[in-house]
Amino acid sequence: MSPRGQGAASGGPEGAAGQRRGIGVLVSGEGSNLQALLDAGLPVVAVASNRPDVRALERAAGAGVASAVFELGAYDDRDARDAAMADWLESHRVGLVVCAGYMQLLRPVFLARFSGRVVNVHPAPLPDFPGAHPLEDVLAAGAPAAAATVHFVDEGVDTGEVIAAESVAVLPGDSVETLRARVHEAEHRLLPKVVGELCAR
């Protein structure tokens, strides 16, 4: 099945040797990190979501960036979904994939297509606080800090090599929400910087 596309189908910037140089962003929800990449003027050429009707897709449309939805239920299994998503990203000449609030694990069939070119932003120190509820875990552990963390994606849950991190101190009286707000500020600084550096490589 083909993805449900939205917005203009745009090709990405291409290097002199024809390399794929655009950024593909994977999202599942709000998309504030996608917005930070767009606001930084980075060459985001494609946005893929596993969920329809999320704010991140509105942000892509607002920026005139091609987007598509790859809901798991529309495919036979995760491998088929991830292969279709990789095909679509390659058709937009994506050379670097950024998971920005993408709440699904990527299958090996996808990672093999973008070997060493998939990164994720995570709101807590790694390897200490992986998983889907890291800020809850930071507070429950009495840890001194969360962190905006950008890391390479491998087949594990937040187990890939850390590229850069910015510590965010836990303050007295912090809730998950107050801590998350400060981590987001750090993410919006760090992610565009790291992605810009990776694009320049």
Catalytic residues: 122
Asked whether position 166 contacts ligand GRF by CB under 6 A, the answer is no
Asked whether position 101 contacts ligand GRF by CB under 6 A, the answer is yes
CB atoms within 10 A of CB 180: 15
Asked whether position 123 contacts ligand GRF by CB under 6 A, the answer is yes
Asked whether position 125 contacts ligand GRF by CB under 6 A, the answer is no
- Tell me the site size for ligand GRF, rule CB under 6 A: 12
Asked whether position 160 contacts ligand GRF by CB under 6 A, the answer is no
| C-alpha to C-alpha distance for 14 and 19, rounded to whole angstroms | 6
Contact 189, 164 (CB under 8 A): no
Asked whether position 95 contacts ligand GRF by CB under 6 A, the answer is no
Tell me how far, at minimum, the Cβ of 184 lies from ligand GRF, in Å: 6
Return the residue nearest ligand GRF (CB atom).
101
| C-alpha to C-alpha distance for 54 and 70, rounded to whole angstroms | 13
Pick 27 or 89: Cβ nearer ligand GRF: 27
Tell me how far, at minimum, the Cβ of 132 lies from ligand GRF, in Å: 9
CB atoms within 10 A of CB 100: 26
Distance set, CA 193 to CA 18, 36, 87, 188 (Å): 24, 10, 27, 9
Cα 32 to the center of its chain, rounded Å: 11
| C-alpha to C-alpha distance for 89 and 68, rounded to whole angstroms | 10
Tell me how far, at minimum, the Cβ of 126 lies from ligand GRF, in Å: 11
Amino acid at 177: E
Asked whether position 130 contacts ligand GRF by CB under 6 A, the answer is no
Site for ligand GRF in 19-48 (CB under 6 A): 29-33
Which residues contact ligand GRF (rule: CB under 6 A)? 29-33, 100-101, 121-123, 184, 187
